[in-house]
Structure 1
Amino acid sequence: MNRVTALACLGILLAGCSKEEAPPEPVRPVLSVQISPQDIAQLGRFAGTIQARYESTLGFRVSGRIARRAVDVGSEVKAGDLLATLDPTDLQNQVRSSQGDLARVQAQWINAQADARRQQELFDRGVGAQAQLDVAQTNLKTTRASLDQAKASVSQAKDQLNYSELRVDHDAVVTHWNVEAGQVVSAGQEVVTLARPDIKEAVIDLPSSLAENLPPDVRFTVADQLEPSISTTATVRELEPQAESATRTRRARLTLAQTPAAFRLGTAISVTLSTAIEPKVELPLSAIQEVEGKSRIWVIDRQNQTVAPREVQVLSRADGRVVVSAGVKAGERVVSAGVNSLKPGQKVKVDEGSTR
């Protein structure tokens, strides 16, 4: 080997030894969030009460002064139970008066019968006049009509006396009294309100704007305000056609799918309205990277512990959050901070204790 060749080989060896290998890409810790699409939109939550579907307001059939109330608000009553009574004095006097009239007419009826028989006998023997017989028979018919009228008056007076007692005709719960003992009421005046406890429903007031634009698939979730775990679903049975002038709300009556035992009459409830929507995903604003007018996120490959960019469609931005509707799948995990310094395929370390 000549001198020139040896120097060339030595130069090559020195050049190879001076070249250092590139250091490996560092593993970067990242914060991340797991994708959980939202397919339900909340339309609002409203307070309401449990009420009876069927209510009735009772009153006396006759006028009079309230003598006493037999039950209080909240009392459960059975068919035939006494609710209230009127002072029966005047009605009892009417019964006595009508009975006296009946006794008088009965006496007249007996006399008319005897007179008609006597005139008939005289006429049959040829010693009585036809005119007198006709008068006696006419008097008999008139007295008979008076007797029927007197009997009807007695029956009516007794019915009026019975009407001085207000009784319930079905099992119910007393929800409201409109009168007090000693008050004078007229026939048909509202006295007491009863509710049938066997069929209950939820009653809420909805803003007029919402009531007019309820989605056809709206879902009502009814929960006890004191025990939110006690809940059921419901559907609209009745929606008032006109809004209340002062509050601009429309009353909605909801039929319950089930009626928990805790849903007693008057129970305060919370009703949540929701509807199904196209799946959307909410992410922190820091998870979005803008590149050339396009939005993208960094998806973590859990098996290889690497990241890869993916374009998404941003629907809205507000309060440090963004809503995206495409480009993500349920269960995937994306980087939530520091996306501007990532590279495709970069190794990352997901700190499970710091994820959110």
Structure 2
Amino acid sequence: MFVRHLFICVVSCFVFAGVASAQESFKVSYEPLEDRKAVLATVQTIDMTPARARIGGTIVELLVDEGSEVTAGEVIARINDEKLKLEMQAVQARTASLQAERKLAEIALNRAVKLRKSGAGSQAKLDEARTNLDVVVKNLKAMESERELVLQREREGAVLSPTTGRVIRVDATHGAVVMPGEAIADIADQTYILRIEVPERHAGFIKVGDPVHVGNRGMSGEEDELRQGTVRQVYPEMRNGRVVADVTISNLGDFFIGERIKVYVSTGKRQTILIPCDYLTVKYGLHYVRLEDGSDVVVQPAQNHGGQCEILSGLREGDKLLKPVAAK
């Protein structure tokens, strides 16, 4: 009888050893894990350029509103200055007067030439007539330049968009009187960035070129599908005890300026235990792992890091785990 029991124990040990060897095993060790802190980033534009009035006057046309898409050089408003019409009328009147003076000077020059040829006129009179004609001709050219100047000022009544982008704010209304250089609208460049503010204690961990992870649009509590971005600029001045930095990400999308998104930034590394999550089993609300000797121990898992679960307690470095066998 004793021999029979001994044989059964030996066979059981071999069977258990064969099952254990057939199971996948994992050796527990400490691994470096990058800590990430979730902060709120604000969508900003790289450049915000005001479209300014080039002349003073009254806005007679306002062609854009907040949210309008504009291109560089597009007319977004028109300004009318009534004084320009009066100046143009004055220029036209002086031009007509000078044209009449030119005809008179040409007649006087022709008479002086004939008198000089006949000997009845002096050379001084001839030179005076030529000089008078030259003066009138040059005055006409100056008046033409003044006319072009008035026309250019009228053309500058068109307020042009300085860049391609979206109108964020319109600072004037139809019929308003504006001065030269006054902003009519603010145009946001179409290149967006994420502006983050990190607590001062993490200032040493954020540098230009560091990767960050960007969550989904909106403030929902759903699991984020993280996208990777890059720290573009770290500002040297702290604001309210926080480090300010800009993050770039490709295909950010059509966001509102000022919209907030969750961003995860690195705050250093620490040593921790990571095991494949499929080595965990749940019984009665507790998490277990199976050691190499067949015993089950309770562990306290933390976050899932891409299929690797962090273990806070219950395991030691060097422990060997067996992967649970799926029930058939």
Q: TM-score scaled by structure 1?
A: 0.63
Distance 2:159 2:53 in 1: 6
Given that 1:282 and 1:323 are in contact with CA atoms closer than 8 Å, whether structure 2 keeps it comes out as no
Aligned residue identity for 1:165: A
Q: 2:291 aligns with which of 300, 319, 326?
A: 300
Judge which range, 261-270 or 85-94, deviates more: 261-270
SS at match of 2:132: helix
- Corresponding position: 1:61 with 2:54: yes
Q: CA, structure 1 residues 94+37, in 2 after alignment: closer, same or farther (shift >3 Å)? A: farther
Aligned residue identity for 1:242: E
Distance 1:238 1:202 in 2: 11
1:72 is matched with: 65
SS at match of 2:149: helix
Aligned residue identity for 2:139: S
Residue 201 of structure 1 and its aligned partner are, at CA, apart by 1.9
Residue 276 of structure 1 and its aligned partner are, at CA, apart by 6.4
Mapping for residues 310-329 of structure 1, pairs under 5 Å: 327-328=317-318
SS at match of 1:195: strand
Distance 1:225 1:36 in 2: 37
Distance 2:179 2:92 in 1: 25
Given that 2:209 and 2:232 are in contact with CA atoms closer than 8 Å, whether structure 1 keeps it comes out as no
Q: CA, structure 1 residues 260+133, in 2 after alignment: closer, same or farther (shift >3 Å)? A: same
1:259 is matched with: 251
Q: 1:48 aligns with which of 38, 41, 45?
A: 41
2:234 is matched with: 239
Residue 240 of structure 1 and its aligned partner are, at CA, apart by 2.6
SS at match of 1:191: strand
SS at match of 2:103: helix
Given that 1:224 and 1:267 are in contact with CA atoms closer than 8 Å, whether structure 2 keeps it comes out as no
Q: 1:220 aligns with which of 212, 216, 219?
A: 212
- What whole-Å deviation, never above 9, does each CA across 1:154-180 have from its counterpart, x for those lacking one? 111111111112132553210122233
In structure 1, stretches of 5+ residues that fail to align are 1-23, 25-33, 284-297, 309-320, 335-349
Residue 37 of structure 1 and its aligned partner are, at CA, apart by 6.1
Distance 1:149 1:275 in 2: 70
Q: Over aligned residues, Cα RMSD in angstroms? A: 4.0
Residue 59 of structure 1 and its aligned partner are, at CA, apart by 0.5
2:106 is matched with: 113
In our comparison, the structure showing a higher alpha carbon Rg is: 1
Percent identical among aligned pairs is 21
Distance 2:100 2:225 in 1: 73
Aligned residue identity for 1:239: V
- Corresponding position: 1:89 with 2:79: no
- What whole-Å deviation, never above 9, does each CA across 1:180-233 have from its counterpart, x for those lacking one? 334332211222111232x32222234455445525773212223427646532
Given that 1:224 and 1:263 are in contact with CA atoms closer than 8 Å, whether structure 2 keeps it comes out as no
Given that 1:230 and 1:260 are in contact with CA atoms closer than 8 Å, whether structure 2 keeps it comes out as no
Mapping for residues 57-206 of structure 1, pairs under 5 Å: 57-168=50-161, 170-197=163-190, 199-206=191-198
Aligned residue identity for 1:82: V
Given that 1:67 and 1:181 are in contact with CA atoms closer than 8 Å, whether structure 2 keeps it comes out as yes
Distance 1:235 1:104 in 2: 69
Aligned residue identity for 1:269: I
Distance 1:230 1:122 in 2: 99
Distance 1:259 1:253 in 2: 16
Q: CA, structure 1 residues 45+229, in 2 after alignment: closer, same or farther (shift >3 Å)? A: closer
Distance 2:179 2:258 in 1: 30
Given that 1:218 and 1:275 are in contact with CA atoms closer than 8 Å, whether structure 2 keeps it comes out as no
Given that 1:42 and 1:272 are in contact with CA atoms closer than 8 Å, whether structure 2 keeps it comes out as no
Distance 2:32 2:94 in 1: 81
Residue 272 of structure 1 and its aligned partner are, at CA, apart by 1.3
Given that 2:208 and 2:231 are in contact with CA atoms closer than 8 Å, whether structure 1 keeps it comes out as no
Distance 1:305 1:96 in 2: 105
- What whole-Å deviation, never above 9, does each CA across 1:23-80 have from its counterpart, x for those lacking one? x9xxxxxxxxx96966443353222233333332110111123334221111112355
1:337 is matched with: none
Distance 1:280 1:205 in 2: 28
SS at match of 1:155: helix
Judge which range, 64-73 or 260-269, deviates more: 260-269
Given that 1:222 and 1:233 are in contact with CA atoms closer than 8 Å, whether structure 2 keeps it comes out as yes
Q: TM-score scaled by structure 2?
A: 0.68
Alignment coverage as a number of residue pairs: 275
SS at match of 1:180: coil
Distance 2:88 2:29 in 1: 80
SS at match of 1:62: coil
Distance 1:250 1:212 in 2: 10
Given that 1:60 and 1:191 are in contact with CA atoms closer than 8 Å, whether structure 2 keeps it comes out as yes
SS at match of 2:112: helix
Distance 1:212 1:130 in 2: 91
- What whole-Å deviation, never above 9, does each CA across 1:297-353 have from its counterpart, x for those lacking one? x9821xx41589xxxxxxxxxxxx6699x8257xx549xxxxxxxxxxxxxxx9x9x
